[in-house]
Amino acid sequence: MSTIDLERKSLPHEPGVYFFLNNIKTIIYIGKAINLKKRVNQYFVKTNYNDPFYEQKIKELVRNIHSVEYIVTENEKEAKILENIQIKKHMPRFNVAMRDSKTYPWFGIFYSEKFPRIRIIRGPEKYSKDNQFLGPFTDKKEITRILRDLRKIFPYCSCKKRVKKQKTPCLYYQLKLCPGACIDAITEEDYMLNVKQIEMFLKGQTDELKKQINGKMKGAAQIQNFEIAAFWRDKLQAIDNSTTSQNVLLDRKENKDIVGYYKDEGQKYIAMVIIHIREGRISNKSSYPISIEDKIIQNKDIFPSILEQFYQDLTHILPDVIVIPDIYEGINLFKEILTEHKIGLKIRLPLEEEYGLLRIANKNAKVMVDQEILMEKIKKNEENQIQKALEEAKKILNLPKIPRVIEGFDISNIEGTDATGSMVYFLEGRPYNKYYRHFNIRSKSTPDDVAMMKEVIMRRYTMLIENNFTLPDLILVDGGKGQLNAGYSVLKELGIEGIPIIGLAKKFEEIFVPNEKNPIILPKNSSSLKLFQRVRDEAHRFSKRLHKKQRERRITGSVLDTFKGVGPATRNKLLKHFGSVEGIKKASYEELTKVIGKKLAETIILNLKKNYKER
């Protein structure tokens, strides 16, 4: 009897969570069961399913199972919660899993700090539980806009690090977007009031917030403190302006979520769209497209699976009502889990007045699925085009193999000054930025693109040979015969002239090949020509980027920038204190030490002496 048969036949008749592992001990599927032994053995019994897609996936899963592990729980409810946690943790291949919420943006209010900062963050589990996190959201642009508008009403600190005492405030303080906690421009009590009001707004409690502010305004007016009353009046008007664009949809100002859902007929993609209504207004929309192409799940279980995963991650900000399109088996257990966090929470079908919103949610879900299908089609067409271009390049240039790796070179300079070279790396017809390289030209300071190209190619392939790295399948240089011959001569010198090399001249888009008098001229719509142009243009763009930096550094820089160990911060500190390089030169060792320390003071003195001697 095989190991897997022994494991499944010895499983307990208990509720719990089971894990299927493949031959390299990777978890490929996680499920829950009221009875572990019965549920796991069902996978290995030959059964005909009504859904041929599901049957095919089950067979593929079983072929990959090499062992079974499990965790026994007290009851089905515990198993359901544990299953969700484990799927999020391991993200198995065959499970339908929503993208982990840590990849989505959240509002973070850092209550663990004296002056709580408010920031957009990802991965709230990395932070202290004393903080407040609202989310996740799918549209970062929208929540960035909300915070941007909100800080005009309630200024807050958004520093990257916790607030510390500073001599001068940040630019946001000058713009009246930060209350200046770092310079004691606001008390801790007043700052905390701002933060609490922001939290109320973000939670959709705008009516309660306006009620509080209105009370403060009237209270100040009664004691004839009209300046304070006007302050609160302006805030009240700002909140009204920020919420008037949201249409009141229902007479009852409930906090509810309307859940829409769509699955394509090909069973490749599904989408869930949730319209969040807070105090009777649409406050946000969450959209989740998910691929189910190789997932082990029956049609009837897809919607419950993603719905439950979503809400079990949001137990701290649950609405009062969740409106769903259909009631499914097991919903009472799910409701029981949620009501532990939100007493009185309802999960129900839409009322008559809510069907319009449900249709909108369903339509949005359908549009998302259609978009996913279209994107997949576009990607496939693009891959076919790239493959066609690579095969065409092999044929036209008579290459020994398809050029999987292409390296492109370009030179950028103005009359020989600030000369730089670039090398871009294309893998399977696509740019692979990780292997891009910049070169500062060392050999020439006069305009000589051919000699500069020779230097760059020599440095690149000497390094590859010395380190025994893989050589490219094709080299492309930006230029005509001169640049091509320079590159080819280097390859001969290094003994690697077998690597194909071509030059692409921009004026007529001619392709030059070594030892061939006439260039190759391809039709403008040629796939391979478009690929070569893309490599050439990318090399040119990358080269210009470094050249521009070099030129700016030379024009706006200081002699201090050339000193090893002296960065922009040290340079600025010295110039601010001494006024100029001449002032630094006149300063004593003791004066320099007070500003930048002993070690840097010695570096500055030695380099300045050396620099002025050379002059």
Domain boundary among 216, 243, 270: 243
Task: Decide: 109 and 198 in contact? Cβ < 8 Å.
Answer: yes
Task: Decide: 132 and 199 in contact? Cβ < 8 Å.
Answer: yes
Say whether both 220 and 293 belong to one domain: no
Q: What is the pTM assigned to this prediction?
A: 0.54
Categorize the per-residue pLDDT at 562 as very low, low, confident or very high, splitting at 50, 70 and 90: low
Digit-coded pLDDT (tens) for 303-341: 888 888 888 776 657 888 999 998 988 888 888 888 888
Say whether both 290 and 421 belong to one domain: no
- Could you tell me if residue 375 is inside a domain? no
Q: How many CB atoms lie within 10 A of CB 401?
A: 10
| CATH number of the domain bearing residue 608 | 1.10.150.20
Q: What is the 3-state secondary structure (H, E, C) of 467-479?
A: CCCCCCCEEEEEC
What's the distance, CA 170 to chain centroid?
Answer: 27
In this predicted structure, what is the pLDDT of residue 53?
Answer: 66
Digit-coded pLDDT (tens) for 205-256: 666 667 767 777 777 777 776 677 776 676 666 656 554 444 334 445 678 8
In this predicted structure, what is the pLDDT of residue 246?
Answer: 42
Distance CA 392, CA 380 (A): 18
Domain boundary among 320, 353, 370: 370
Task: List helix spans (H) across 340-405.
Answer: 355-397
Say whether both 563 and 512 belong to one domain: no
- Could you tell me if residue 398 is inside a domain? no
3-state helix, strand, coil in the chain (%, to 5): 50, 20, 35
Say whether both 536 and 567 belong to one domain: no
For residue 574, what are the domain limits?
557-614
In this predicted structure, what is the pLDDT of residue 406?
Answer: 93
- Could you tell me if residue 400 is inside a domain? no
In this predicted structure, what is the pLDDT of residue 547?
Answer: 64
Q: Is 161 helix (H, G, I), strand (E, B) or coil?
A: coil
In this predicted structure, what is the pLDDT of residue 560?
Answer: 65
In this predicted structure, what is the pLDDT of residue 605?
Answer: 77
Give me the chain's average pLDDT, please.
80
Q: What percent of the chain has pLDDT over 70?
A: 83
- Could you tell me if residue 388 is inside a domain? no
Distance CA 572, CA 579 (A): 10
Average pLDDT over residues 30-52: 80
Say whether both 409 and 436 belong to one domain: yes
Say whether both 208 and 290 belong to one domain: no
Say whether both 239 and 305 belong to one domain: no
In this predicted structure, what is the pLDDT of residue 473?
Answer: 92
In this predicted structure, what is the pLDDT of residue 271?
Answer: 87
| CATH number of the domain bearing residue 48 | 3.40.1440.10
Number of domains the chain contains = 5
Is residue 474 scored above 90 in pLDDT? yes
Distance CA 84, CA 75 (A): 15
Domain boundary among 504, 523, 553: 553
Task: Decide: 409 and 487 in contact? Cβ < 8 Å.
Answer: yes
- Could you tell me if residue 392 is inside a domain? no
Digit-coded pLDDT (tens) for 161-199: 888 888 888 888 888 888 888 888 888 888 888 888 888
In this predicted structure, what is the pLDDT of residue 342?
Answer: 85
Digit-coded pLDDT (tens) for 116-152: 888 888 777 777 778 888 766 666 777 787 778 777 7
Q: How many CB atoms lie within 10 A of CB 216?
A: 17
Q: What percent of the chain has pLDDT over 90?
A: 9
Say whether both 157 and 27 belong to one domain: no
Cα torsion 572, 573, 577, 578 to 10°: value is -60
Categorize the per-residue pLDDT at 447 as very low, low, confident or very high, splitting at 50, 70 and 90: low
* Amino acid at residue number 75: N
- Could you tell me if residue 390 is inside a domain? no
Say whether both 293 and 413 belong to one domain: no
- Could you tell me if residue 321 is inside a domain? yes
Say whether both 572 and 505 belong to one domain: no
Say whether both 298 and 314 belong to one domain: yes
In this predicted structure, what is the pLDDT of residue 84?
Answer: 78
**520: closest CA among 505, 536, 542, 498?**
505
Say whether both 81 and 119 belong to one domain: no
- Could you tell me if residue 376 is inside a domain? no
Task: Decide: 330 and 243 in contact? Cβ < 8 Å.
Answer: no
